[in-house]
Structure 1
Amino acid sequence: MRLVHERWNPWRDLARLQHDVQRLARHNRPADAEYPPFNVYQNAEEVVLTSVAPGLDPAGIDLEVGADAVTVRGQRPVWSPEPGQSETVEFSRTLKLPFPVDSQSAEAGYERGVLTIRLRRPVSQQSRKVPVAAG
């Protein structure tokens, strides 16, 4: 039997511990139910959803818009302590919208790690200004 003495590297051990904790966390909760995180802004004509989600492939993002909900699905990269190894994990998130939207006019873009989704209200539900005639 031959003993090999390896120099102790606390950073390597810390990276392995972090990887193990992340792996356990992934297995003990629903598949990233809160990923990606979204900010939701609304005005009289539309609702805008933005999410900081770096590392996604825009071609791999599946976006489904219903009358009152949006579902975003895809795969995201996960950090691995081993050099040259990359992992991905699937995610799916459904957001209930504050008002019905016109799914046909939905627009989405992904630039510099930010996903932006614009959803317009149906014309029948948009408010409009009515001029008041004098006289």
Structure 2
Amino acid sequence: MSDLLFRTDLLGEFDRLQQQMSSLFAGFPASLRATRSEIFPPVNIGSTDDSVEIVAFAPGLDPASIDVSIDKGVLTISGERKPDAPEAADGVRVYASERFMGAFRRVVELPQHADPDKVDARYANGCLTISIGRSEASKPRAITVQ
């Protein structure tokens, strides 16, 4: 005879837990392909000793249609991607579209050491690269011991 004694029905508890988990994730799609990416453009953010580097992946955009601004320590990237898929008038019926189209706005909070007066933005090969210089006071420096 086992020394373990369960005061409740263990399988019933697992069933209850499974129901709670199912209701918790009920709003999520069954697969990643079913999700629509609402965050556009995706960004990578990093830093060097001299700058904060932000790369936004935004292929197929006209650089003139991208707006970049900094206000109170917040970087904003906005613009619009025009549809480039075949039109319904061409006799093509689109039944799946995974490429984001429409207006977008991406907001990134900058670190305190970023200097909004030292900004360089360039667009090449579908990537918007934004380099924001660091303030002089925040740059690492060597101190000579006497």
TM-score class normalised by the smaller sequence: 0.5 to 0.7
Q: Which residue of structure 2 lines up, in the alignment, with residue 109 of structure 1? A: 122
Query: What secondary structure, in the 3-state scheme, does the structure 1 residue paired with 2:113 have?
Result: coil
CA shift for structure 1 position 130: 2.2
Unaligned runs of 5+ in 2: 1-33, 91-99
**Number of residue equivalences:** 104
Query: What secondary structure, in the 3-state scheme, does the structure 2 residue paired with 1:99 have?
Result: coil
Q: Which residue of structure 2 lines up, in the alignment, with residue 17 of structure 1? A: none
Show the 5 A alignment for 1:11-90: 32=38, 34-82=39-87, 89-90=102-103
1:118 equivalent to 2:123? Answer: no
CA shift for structure 1 position 71: 0.3
State the superposition RMSD in angstroms. Answer: 2.8
Unaligned runs of 5+ in 1: 1-20, 27-31
Query: What secondary structure, in the 3-state scheme, does the structure 2 residue paired with 1:59 have?
Result: helix
Kindly indicate whether the alpha-carbon contact (under 8 Å) linking 1:67 and 1:102 is maintained by their aligned counterparts in 2: no
The alignment's TM-score, normalised by the length of structure 1, stands at: 0.64
Aligned partners of 1:47, 1:67: CA distance in 2, in Å? 16
CA shift for structure 1 position 119: 0.6
